[in-house]
Amino acid sequence: MKIKFSIRKEIRIAVALIGLSFLIAFSERKQSGSVCKDVIVELENIHDNHFMDEADILHLVESSGQTIKGTGIGRINLKAIETKLKYDKHIKDADLYGDLKGNLMVSVELRRPIARIVQQDAPDAYISEEGIVMSTSDKFSSRVVIISGKFVKQILEKGDLMTFDEGKKLMEMLDFIREDSFWQAQIAQLDINGAGEVTIYPQVTGQIVEFGTPDNYELKLKKLLVFYKEVLPQKGWTKYERVNLKYEGQVIAE
């Protein structure tokens, strides 16, 4: 009896799986054969990046060179549209698919800006949390740390900080600042010279900080925090104009 019951149970499971497979295949055929009635855009990270909205994404889709509405979704080259969308540096990822109602769903994830590049002789730009350089927008200005100086030319030429060693070190420092509420509020600007040496312009205290290269950034920021907590309250917040952290084990205030 136990053997018969086991066989019957296996048969029921097999029949259920066949039925499920049939339903999935039927749904996929119905989906691919559906005529596109509308395009629906879904945006992620819209609260962190207002550089693009649904209308911008829809314009990119409609300018892909393909007829969208009225065409069978299975006949639309979705991969080509995804590639076109991801060509825009503000877009981290894009996924297109048809639903059972005949809508073309466009799911887009936007990049988050973590720093702004400023130049006197060229347009500004943003750096995303992946290290990608993005253009600015008239629609929105993100309140992030500013990066200036001769080093930004190298950043713009590369287009991605994660493609070279100096850029990777800067990204590590930017991530550390972004994840620490105190430093995120305190550091307003990083001016980086051609040799990659950083000068910090703080938000609250008046001292310019000669930081050196981003090497050992965490230790240097710890030394700076001790200076803020233990030295300035005793000596006065306006006594010093510059703080030098370049030398190991030392904090030089002038």
Q: What CATH number labels 38-110? A: 3.10.20.310
pLDDT for 188 equals 96
Return d(Cα 205, Cα 185) in angstroms, integer.
Answer: 11
Architecture (CATH level 2) of domain 113-253: 3-Layer(aba) Sandwich (3.40)
What average pLDDT does the structure give for the chain? Answer: 86
Res. 218: pLDDT tops 70? yes
Higher pLDDT, 23 or 254: 254
> φ, ψ for residue 95 (rounded to 5)?
-140, 125
CA dihedral angle for residue 118, residue 238, residue 220, residue 248, rounded to 10 degrees: 120
What string of DSSP letters covers 72-89?
A: BGGGS-HHHHHHHHHHST
Element (H, E) at 27: helix 2-33
| Domain boundaries of the chain, sorted by first residue | 38-110, 113-253
Per-residue pLDDT reduced to its tens digit, 66-101: 999 988 988 999 999 999 999 999 999 999 999 888
- Residue pLDDT, tens place only, 6-62: 565 565 555 445 444 444 444 444 444 588 999 999 998 766 677 888 999 999 999
